[in-house]
């Protein structure tokens, strides 16, 4: 189980990047939405679809 965050601002491709709380590239907490504790990496990505038109997993902490 991990805590997840989504970046408030979209990147140049219009995606809000989703990170694990332990990510080495995690931006400062004031630029993030807290998603919560989830057991899979798919769960926070699906959940962010309720808030943003597009999201993507962080390539550093959520790479397959």
Pair 20, 58: CB distance under 8 Å: yes
Pair 18, 56: CB distance under 8 Å: yes
Average pLDDT value over all residues in the chain: 94
Q: Which residues pair with 34 in a beta bridge?
A: 5
Q: What is the DSSP string of 6-55?
A: EESS--TTSPEEEEETT-TT---GGGEEEEEEESSSHHHHHHHTTT-S-E
- Would you say residue 55 has pLDDT above 70? yes
Percent of the chain with pLDDT over 70: 98
Each domain of the chain, given as residue ranges in start order, spans: 2-57
Percent of the chain with pLDDT over 90: 89
Confidence grade of residue 49 (pLDDT, cut at 50, 70, 90): confident
pTM: 0.91
């Amino acid at each position: 189980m991990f805590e997840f965050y989504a970046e408030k601002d979209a990147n140049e491709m219009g995606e809000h990047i989703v990170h694990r709380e332990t990510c080495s590239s995690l931006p400062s907490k004031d630029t993030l939405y807290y998603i919560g504790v989830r057991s899979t990496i798919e769960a926070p990505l699906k959940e962010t679809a309720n808030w943003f038109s597009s999201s993507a997993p962080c390539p550093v902490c959520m790479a397959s």
